[in-house]
Amino acid sequence: MTALLLLAPVAGCSGGGLPRSTGSDTGGATAPAGSGATEATSGSAQSSTAESGGRGGQAATGLTGRPSAEQLSAARADVARLSVPQLAAQLVVPRQRGAGQDAAAALRSGGYGGYAVFRDNLPQGAAAVRTARADNAAFERAMRESGRDWPAFVSIDQEGGPVTRLDSPLTLFPAVMALGAAGDPGLARRVGAASGAELRGLGYTVVLAPVADVTVGEADPTIGVRSPGSDPRAVSRISSALAAGYLDAGILPTLKHFPGHGGVGDDSHLGTVTQRAPLSQMRERDLLPFAEAVSAGAPAIMTAHIVLTSVDPQRPSTVSQKVLTGVLREDLGFTGLVVTDALEMAAVASRFGAGQAAVEAVRAGADVLLMPADAKAAVTALVKAVDDGSVTRGRLEESAARMVATLRAAVHDPPAPSEPGSHQQVAKDVAAAAITQLGGECGARLVGDGIRVSGGDAADREALTTAARAAGLRTGSGTSVVLRGGSTYRAAEDDGESTASAPATGDVVVALDAPYTLARDRARVAKLATFGRTPATFAELVRVLLGERTASGALPVAVGNHAIGSGCGRSS
C-alpha cells in the first residue's frame, strides 16, 4: 500500500460520537487580504449567527452519525441472514427510473438498498412535495415488505446553487461557495440543518452533499462554485459544519468527492480524469478537508472517479484498492461508509462496464454502489464474483452491515417539524453574509434613484427588477447594473454561461455564480459577487446597492489580482 502521513486533526475534534451542539467555535488564522487597484476598502466581517466566533477560525464541530459497536453487531446479525443475491442487491442504489410506485415494486423485488432521486422523477412546484413524500413512503414500505427493517438509502443531490434537484417550494440556498464567502461555520451548520430538515420531512434519508473539494479556481470545470473555496482549511470548516447540520436534521450526509475533484481540469462525467499532483501537495490541499472530517467523525464519504497518479496511476480512485483501502481506510483511518460516485459516469462505466465496475469498487473498499449503468448487471456480477472467489461473501456482509448500521445511526426525524420553504430567514442570512464587493466605497450607495438591468438571463433580470421595485427603485433607466450569469459547473443539468465569455462593462457589474469574470469585467462604480441567484440573494443585493447593508463577504477564491480574502468583509 502507498504510505500516506496522517494529517493533523482540527483542533477540538476527535473521533466519532461527539455530542451534537448548537453551534461551532471558531478562531485562528486569517485568510490573506487581497490587493489591486479595484479592491474594496477595508471592512470587518459580520457574523450571521451567535453560534460563530467569526471569520477564518477552525471549527470544533464533532460529527455524529457513525454507528456504535452495538449497532454494527446488530447489523451484522441482520445481514448474515441474507442470501448472496440479497447481499449484493442491498449494496446497489440505482438511479430511480419511472414512477414512484413502479420504482417501489422494483425495490421490493430486486432487493436494492434504495434509490438516487433526480429532478426528472418529480413534477414541478408544490406537486413535487406531494410526490416525493408518497414515493419515499412507498420505498420504505417496500423495504419492510422485503423483510428489511432498516431505512432505505433514498438519496438526492441537494447541494444548493447549480446542483439543486428540488426547487421551490423548498427553501432555496445559493452555491456552497457563498458559505465560503461568508466564512461562518455556524451559518453553514444552520444551512445544513435547514435544508436537511426539509429533505428529511419529505422522506429522504441521504443527502449527496456537502462538497469538500478544494477548487483551484477558474481552471476547475466540474466543481467550481460547488466548492466552498480554494483555502483547504476554510473548505474543511465549512464542509464539516454543513455535515453537522445535516446530521442535526436526521439525514445522512456524504462528504464528496474523495480524494478531491477540485484540482483537475477535466470532468469525470465525460471520461478519464487524471490528478498528477504529488502526494505531498495532495496532503496539504485536496486531502486535508477529508482527513479533518474523518478525525471529526464523518459517517460517510463519496469517492471521485479520478486517477491519482501518485498512488495508483492505473485506476480511477473509485475502483482503486490503493486509494480507497490504502489511503482512505488505512492511512486516514476512516471506518465509516464509503459511497461511490455514480458508476454510470464515463470515467468508470466506459472502461469496466456496469457489472465489473461494481465488482471492482467493492474489491477496492467501497460499500454503497451508487447508480450503476445497469443495476441488475451489477447484482449479477457481484453474485458471480462470490461464486468464482474473487469477492467473498464476508466482504459483502461487511459493506452491507456498515450500510445498515450507518443508516440506523444517522437517520431520524428532525428535531421539529419542518415544512418546505420554512427557512427563508436562513436563506436571507446566507445571502447577506456572502455578497462580496470589489472596488468602490464599502457601505456606500452604489446606484441612483433608478437602475437599468442587463446581462444574465431573463429570469435573473426579472428577479432583480422585482426586488428593486419592491425596495422603491425605479427600473428601466438610471445606473447600469450588468448581471453575469452562469457557473463553472457544466455537467449534469447545468448549461450556464461560460466564464470565458466577453468582458462586461457597466456602472455596477454583478457575478451571480462564479466570480472569475470580474477579473476581466470593467465597472465604473463597483463589482459584486453573490455566489447565488436565489430570491433572497436578489433582495439582499438590492440592499447593498442602496447602501443599506455593507457587502460583508470576502473572496473564497482568487479572482485576477484579487487574492483570497479580498472584499469589504475581509478580516482586518
Residue positions annotated with a catalytic role: 269, 341
Residue 224: DSSP 8-state: G
Residue that the C-alpha cell 456504535 belongs to? 68
Instruction: Enumerate the β-bridge partners of residue 59.
Output: none
Measure CA 153 to chain center: 18
Residue 453: what are its φ and ψ, rounded to 5°?
-95, 135
* H or E segment and range at residue 397: helix 393-410
Rounded CA gap, 536 and 174, in Å? 9
3-state secondary structure of 437: strand
> What is the amino acid identity at position 158?
Q
In the numeric block, which cell numbers belong to residue 91? 449494496
Backbone angle region of 383, left / alpha / beta, with phi > 0 → left and psi within -120 to 50 → alpha: alpha
Q: What stretches of 146-273 show up as alpha helix (H) in DSSP?
A: 177-182, 185-201, 232-248
- Is the bond preceding residue 169 a cis peptide, omega within 30 degrees? yes
β pairing state of 163-164 and 158-160? antiparallel
Give the residue carrying C-alpha cell 408518497: 134
Residues 271 and 220: their CA atoms lie apart, in Å, by 15
Report the distance separating Cα 473 and Cα 450, nearest Å: 5
| One-letter-per-residue 3-state SS of 35-89 | CCCCCCCCCCCCCCCCCCCCCCCCCCCCCCCCCCHHHHHHHHHHHCCCCHHHHHH
98 burial (CB, 10 Å; 0-12 / 13-18 / 19+) is exposed
Pairing of strands 522-529, 505-511: parallel
Question: Is residue 422 a contact partner of residue 195, using CB atoms and an 8 Å limit?
Answer: no
* CB-neighbour burial class of residue 382 (10 A; exposed 0-12, middle 13-18, buried 19+): buried
Cβ contact 36:566 at 8 Å: yes
